[in-house]
Every structure is written in structure tokens, then in C-alpha cells.
Amino acid sequence: MPVPAPILKRLREILSVPGDRVGKARRISAAIRETGGYRWVGILEVSPEKTGIMAWSGREAAPGAARSEVVLPVPGAAAGQVVGLLHIVSDAPHTYGEDDRRRLEECAALLGPLWE
């Protein structure tokens, strides 16, 4: 079995420590931003009761200033359920290669416990 990328290990550590989910989401968004060198990383909640940003790390930019961004679903416990979104923004154009996309998808797949 391959050794997980350091960011995946870090996210698992954050999720395993007792604490409130917003605090964990803040630490997770900061870890992803710092590791990837992204300008902004947000974790958004998506539910019938509440939709919006749960936590973020980085600096916001003027509307339309983002050069690259990716938004990935955070799967819930039920098949096909989406409980949140992982939103990443970069200043550089064409930031996300196949390896980045795959790693960010792995990050998003780990975040479900924030909603449990």
C-alpha cells in the first residue's frame, strides 16, 4: 500500500482530534492552502437548512480576479449525498494539473466526518 501524501495524513490527524467542526475546518483549509500554495481555500456547507462558507483560509480577491479555481463535492454518508464543497482558488492560470486534481479529490473525500 503506498504511503499517503503528507496532506492526506495531516487532514486525517486534524479530523481525529476532538474539537468543534468549524475549528477543524479552519485548520484543514489552512493546511490545504499552505501545502498547495493556493490563494484561498474554503470549505462550504451545503444542506437544505444552511448553505454557505463554514471556514476558509487565505485572502479573498476582487470578483473575477481568480485565475484558476476548482470546486469539489464533499460526499456524505449516504450514497450520492453531497454535504459540502471544497473550493480552491489560485492566482496563477492553469494551476491544477491531473495530480493536483486527484489529490484535491482525495482531500474532499476525507472531509465527510465534519458533518457527522
Dihedrals phi, psi of 71, to nearest 5 degrees: -125, 125
Confidence of residue 61 (pLDDT cuts 50, 70, 90): low
Residue 55 structural domain: 6-115
- C-alpha distances (whole Å) from 109 to each of 63, 92, 105 are 28, 25, 6
Residue 74 CB neighbours (<10 A): 23
- In the prediction, which pLDDT does 62 show? 58
Cβ(108)–Cβ(82) below 8 Å: no
1 part of a folded domain:
no
CATH number, domain at 67? 3.30.450.40
Mean pLDDT of the 83-95 span? 87
Q: How many helices (H) and strands (E) are present in the chain, helices listed first?
A: 3, 4
pTM (2 d.p.)? 0.87
